[in-house]
Amino acid sequence: MNTMNTKPFTVFVEGNIGSGKTTFLEHFRRFEDITLLTEPVEEWRNLKGWNLLDLMYKEPSKWAMTFQSYVSLTMLDMHRKPTPTPVKLMERSLYSARYCFVEHMMRSGTLHPAEFAVLDEWFRFIMNQIHIDADLIVYLKTTPSVVYERIKKRARSEEQCVPLSYIEELHKLHEDWLINREHAECPAPVLVLDADLDLSQITEEYKKSEHQILRKAV
Ligand code: DCP
């Protein structure tokens, strides 16, 4: 067994909005020796009473920069959280924030080129100066129309205006990063799971990753 002194085996769970990242993390709650770090969406919805996620969706050109800079801070906090177990499972990472969301906001013109430049400099600075552990990426691969239906069904109030085209573009950016390897940084091997499956079948699919994740914990 790994000891508390060695660095944990660190797994990022990535995939489109509504791909089941939280459900995937919940699946691993039954195992000992794993630290689960779910995405701090609640912090994004309530920073000193301000719902940054809502502001970002309602007025993207005004709030995207503020929102993404706060996302970066909260993700960096997760990356740096001391972990007393041999395995650390994280929902998303600084990488998907940069290569999927910020990238989309830059290409669509939501971010002013100067705003993008500042976010990109922060990202580069962090990558150069701070060691970010990454041992495995679990990519919950989905079809955009499938997650679009899920997003509509779960009806998170901020996401009501999200169009299918946005989900399709985010899908393409995840594929470019994790499958087509279009960026320099893909920090770890990628395990691809079929996350289109519905809840009754998804447990079997999740189990396919147990061996790679849990062998580090036993
Ligand atoms: N978001 C964003 N920029 C980021 C990260 C997330 O704009 N860098 C937004 C997209 C969603 C919300 O935050 O509206 C949460 O997105 P996630 O895909 O990270 O989390 P979900 O809760 O949708 O994940 P899942 O349904 O897979 O559990």
Tell me what percent of the residues of the chain surpass a pLDDT of 70.
96
What pLDDT, in 10s, does the model give residues 144-199?
A: 999 999 999 999 999 999 999 999 999 999 999 999 998 877 789 999 999 999 88
| pLDDT, position 5 | 54
- What are the domain boundaries of the chain? 9-214
ipTM above 0.85, yes or no: yes
For ligand 1, atom 23, which residue shows the shortest CA distance? 17
Catalytic positions, written as ranges: 91
**Secondary structure letter of residue 20 according to DSSP:** S
H or E segment at 190? Answer: strand 190-194
Is the CB of 103 inside a 6 Å radius of any atom of ligand 1?
Answer: no
Secondary structure (3-state) at 56: helix
Mutual orientation of helices 113-129 and 60-80 as an angle, nearest 10°?
Answer: 0
Is the CB of 147 inside a 6 Å radius of any atom of ligand 1?
Answer: no
| pLDDT, position 216 | 58
For ligand 1, atom 14, which residue shows the shortest CA distance? 159
Fold of 9-214: Rossmann fold (3.40.50)
How far, in Å, CA of 176 to CA of 132, rounded?
Answer: 21
For residue 117, count other CB atoms closer than 10 A to its CB: 12
What pLDDT, in 10s, does the model give residues 89-137?
A: 999 999 999 999 999 999 999 999 999 999 999 999 999 999 999 999 9
Of 1-5, 57-61, 190-194, give the lowest mean pLDDT range: 1-5
Q: How far is CA 63 from CA 45, 50, 51, 164, 173, in A?
A: 13, 12, 11, 21, 21
Whole-number average pLDDT of the chain: 93
Is the CB of 188 inside a 6 Å radius of any atom of ligand 1?
Answer: no
Task: Give 2's pLDDT tier (boundaries 50, 70, 90).
Answer: very low
Residue 159 CA: nearest ligand 1 atom is 14
The model's pTM is: 0.94
